[in-house]
A and B are shown apart, each in its own frame.
Chain A
Amino acid sequence: MNRKTFLTGALALLATGVAYPALGQSIPATVDQPVTISYYNYNLASAGNGAEATKRLIAKFEAANPNIKVKGVGASSADITSRIQADVAAGRIPDVVQMVFSDLEFTVDNLGAAALEQIVPETELKAHFEGISPNGLQLGVLNGKTYGLAYTFSTPVLFYNADLFKAAGLDPDNPPKTWAEVKAAGLAITKKTKAEGIATGIFGPSAGDWLFQGVLRSNNGSLMSPDRKTLAFAEPASVEAVAMLRDLYDSGAYTNLDITAAMEAMASGNVGMYLQTSAIQGFLVKGSQGKFDLRASTMPRFGDKPQRPNNSGSALVILSRDPLKRRAAWELMKFMTSKEAYTVITSEIGYLPLRADIVEDPKYLGNWVKEHPLIQPNLEQLRMLERWESFPGPNYRQIQKTMMEGAEMAVFGGTDPAAAMQAAQKSAQAMMPK
């Protein structure tokens, strides 16, 4: 915990704490008795860097807050929402959860997520929000209230293998910016080298729909009508985006690999380009070390339309009901979104720094960013980041799956894009709230 932030926070709290006592929602100013909170985190579910760094952060937090004990609970990112839902249903309400953004709305509507504005004194909140990228902050806002603080989040990055670019007669200093250029580069790579052109993480069982949303939106397509009642992913703009991917695949530039296989193919130099979350950067760097020159660029756009990427990843959300636990949870949340934690999260786990000011600061990420130019496109996209939308209603996950399966059939399965998307939209519309 950054001591200065803490002090400011504590002082601010002392000053304003008295203003809220009647609300009953406000939390005590400090944690003055021992309390244990649970922290559901998907980095803890796997053995490796993410888990190690997370454990280290928790230990540091506990050392700085002797009254608070944190019980880390791991569940894979695909399972974590249902795990949390199950535990809430079972009456074992988790205190702080790392919630995938596409489930944020569900968390707010059904799991009793606490709006920070309602439980944290205003000045304290303001003090903590200082320095957080406004786009990043906006991701956790729903109905005008902040329910989550972006925690591990990232943007779609086009990784590419500069050695393969050279071998294919392409300029590695001038990576493709549009999908048309991606296609040309991909074809050149498949023709002149033994490698595949491009792989993406758009489709696949654990892919969700975050990358796909970015692709649709970049062609000015959308998921649904602004009133969130009528699905729109079979509208012409969206279909056009899907048709582009289909054409890319049909041309032979785009190879269909599942997530693990694509990652490993990229890491071992068997694919020229790979569009995926920046979170896997660490894995790719490790694989490429001493073998090839790994570089990164921003997500491709459609012609002159600006690309409109959305984030992937997760926010921290407070679910606890008890005021003392809420205070402890808020302290943990503050720590996990502090400059210090973000330095670890960015440099060791591979996500984006939510606080832009630590990027230059040599005390935090300054030197690291200089040594790791791969993070640049990610930082660049942070400025144009849009929201990863989730579908409404109790069937939101099934709607998402239906859409993704339709799109996958259109791109790889040989079904006509318009027909596939319309069929998916029709069956998904039936699952929308009436």
Chain B
Amino acid sequence: MSEAALSTHGGTVRRRRMDNWRVTPWLYLAPAVLTLAIWIYWPLIDASRLSFYEWNMLPTTPQTYVGWQNYINIFALPKFWQALWNTGIYIIGLLPIAVLIPLAIAIYTHDLPARARNFYRAIIFVPMIIAPVVAAAVWRWLLDPGHGMVNEAITLFGFRPVRFLQDPKIAIWTIIVITGWKLIGFSTLILSAANANINPSLVEAARMDGASKWEIVRDIRLPLLRSTVLFLVLMTILLGAQWSFAYIHVLTGGGPLGATTNIFYILWDFGFSSLSVGWSSAAAVILFLGFGVVAFVLFRLMDRYSFHDN
């Protein structure tokens, strides 16, 4: 590497320019590009091919071409559409926790003294650095129907224990709250920072003009926070399913009755965990294309509606 860099300096101007734009940047890029090509792009290409085959990974069994059968199988899964629907619920459920509540908190606590704010900030950020497996274990412990702290407290007030992870009507909301627990501090911080960045003279001017507190929020703060809010919404939609995956995996396995499964988990369950390459490759392609389309649309929307202050 260093030799290539050295050579750029030696020769004529012309040669230098050639080397500069032909070789050198690629030498600098090589380690990163090679890594990503080998570990991400090549598998992706391979997966698109294998999604048309039936194969169990074993060198002794042939890869049999089955056309669209793997895709047909996946789309015919009784739970596929339930999982898709649940994915929507996850997103809708996460939006208030990951965006709305943090937004309200950020605006509301704007006036707290700096020291107190720093203190709270340090605490609410803790879930973000806790490992998902640890978080899942701890929540399982807290919510255990028999001995869990939360249910002990509920029965103390004379209610029947709640089956947070066993009741099909409740379980998905439990997973949403746990996922939200991880994120709420983070979102709050991002929004507080954005809120703090708003030029105080704007607010001051509005106040002089006799704007009420709510009017200031509505007409000044919210519009100025728009791009940050949009960003968080986008992240939630794109990654909500990913974030909850670890909790579904450890806590419910998609159950009860598939109530907590989402598109990620069902593809994992039927495709990846059984190592039938055709199924999992088809699932991979579906995931990748699905995400690609959603991301593309969202970024277009964001470009259009995002509004750059300062």
Interface of A with B (CB < 8 Å)? Answer: 78-79, 82, 85-86, 88-89, 91, 110-112, 203-206, 256-258, 261, 264-265, 268, 270, 394-395, 397-398, 401-402, 405-406, 408-409, 412-413, 423-424, 427, 430-431
CB of B164 to closest CB in A, whole Å: 10
Asked if A402 and B59 sit within 8 Å, CB to CB, the answer is no
Q: Which of B6-14, B76-84, B208-216, B288-296 contacts A (4 or more CB under 8 A)?
A: B76-84
Taking A85-B58, A395-B73 as contacts, is the C-beta distance between A261 and B146 under 8 angstroms?
A: yes
Is B54 at the interface (CB under 8 A from chain A)?
Answer: yes
Interface residues of B in 149-174 (CB under 8 A from A): 163, 165-166, 168
Please, could you name 8 A-B residue pairs with CB atoms under 8 Å apart, sorted by A?
A86-B275, A91-B59, A206-B253, A261-B145, A398-B270, A402-B78, A412-B168, A413-B257
Residue on A with the closest CB to B140? A260
Asked if B58 and A412 sit within 8 Å, CB to CB, the answer is no
Is B254 at the interface (CB under 8 A from chain A)?
Answer: yes
Residues of B within 8 A of A89 (CB): 56-59, 275
A401 to B258, CA, bound (A): 12
Asked if A82 and B275 sit within 8 Å, CB to CB, the answer is yes
Residue on B with the closest CB to A86? B275
Asked if B252 and A394 sit within 8 Å, CB to CB, the answer is no
Among A91, A398, A408, the residue within 8 A (CB) of B73 is A398
Residues of A within 8 A of B19 (CB): none
CB of A288 to closest CB in B, whole Å: 13
Is B242 at the interface (CB under 8 A from chain A)?
Answer: no
Asked if B76 and A427 sit within 8 Å, CB to CB, the answer is yes
Among B54, B76, B79, B163, the residue within 8 A (CB) of A405 is B79
A40 to B10, CA, bound (A): 60
Residues of A within 8 A of B163 (CB): 257, 261
Is B60 at the interface (CB under 8 A from chain A)?
Answer: yes
Among B57, B79, B146, B252, the residue within 8 A (CB) of A264 is B146
Q: Report, as a range, how many residues of chain B touch the other chain.
A: 35 or more
Among B61, B72, B274, B279, the residue within 8 A (CB) of A110 is B61
Residues of B within 8 A of A91 (CB): 59
Taking A257-B166, A427-B76 as contacts, is the C-beta distance between A265 and B274 under 8 angstroms?
A: no
Residues of A within 8 A of B269 (CB): 401
Interface residues of B in 268-289 (CB under 8 A from A): 269-270, 273-276, 279
Residue on A with the closest CB to B260? A205
The listed residue with most B CB atoms (<10 A of its CB), out of A398, A406, A427, is A398
Interface of B with A (CB < 8 Å)? Answer: 54, 56-61, 72-73, 76-79, 144-147, 163, 165-166, 168, 252-258, 269-270, 273-276, 279
Asked if A205 and B255 sit within 8 Å, CB to CB, the answer is yes
CB of B264 to closest CB in A, whole Å: 15
CB of A89 to closest CB in B, whole Å: 4
Asked if B252 and A409 sit within 8 Å, CB to CB, the answer is no
CB of A326 to closest CB in B, whole Å: 18
Residues of A within 8 A of B61 (CB): 110
Asked if B58 and A397 sit within 8 Å, CB to CB, the answer is no
Asked if B279 and A398 sit within 8 Å, CB to CB, the answer is yes
Residue on B with the closest CB to A395? B276
Asked if A427 and B145 sit within 8 Å, CB to CB, the answer is no
Taking A205-B253, A394-B276 as contacts, is the C-beta distance between A256 and B166 under 8 angstroms?
A: yes
Asked if A85 and B270 sit within 8 Å, CB to CB, the answer is no
Residue on B with the closest CB to A265? B146
CB of B245 to closest CB in A, whole Å: 14
Among B144, B145, B146, B254, the residue within 8 A (CB) of A205 is B254
Residue on B with the closest CB to A82? B275
Q: In the A-B complex, list the 8 residue pairs whose CB atoms are closest, starting with the nearest.
A: A205-B253, A89-B57, A397-B274, A82-B275, A264-B146, A413-B257, A268-B146, A427-B76
Asked if A402 and B77 sit within 8 Å, CB to CB, the answer is yes
The listed residue with most B CB atoms (<10 A of its CB), out of A79, A112, A409, A424, is A409
A406 to B82, CA, bound (A): 13
Known: A203-B255, A261-B165, A395-B276. 20 other contacts (CB 8 A): A82-B274, A85-B275, A89-B58, A89-B59, A110-B58, A112-B60, A205-B253, A205-B255, A256-B166, A257-B166, A264-B145, A264-B146, A394-B54, A401-B269, A405-B78, A408-B257, A412-B168, A412-B257, A423-B78, A430-B73
Residues of B within 8 A of A395 (CB): 73, 276, 279
Asked if B145 and A265 sit within 8 Å, CB to CB, the answer is yes
Among A257, A261, A398, A405, the residue within 8 A (CB) of B258 is A405
Residue on B with the closest CB to A112? B60
CB of A396 to closest CB in B, whole Å: 9
CB of A107 to closest CB in B, whole Å: 11
Residue on A with the closest CB to B271? A398
Residues of B within 8 A of A111 (CB): 58
Asked if B76 and A430 sit within 8 Å, CB to CB, the answer is yes
A430 to B73, CA, bound (A): 8
A34 to B258, CA, bound (A): 50
Residues of A within 8 A of B275 (CB): 82, 85-86, 89
CB of B78 to closest CB in A, whole Å: 6
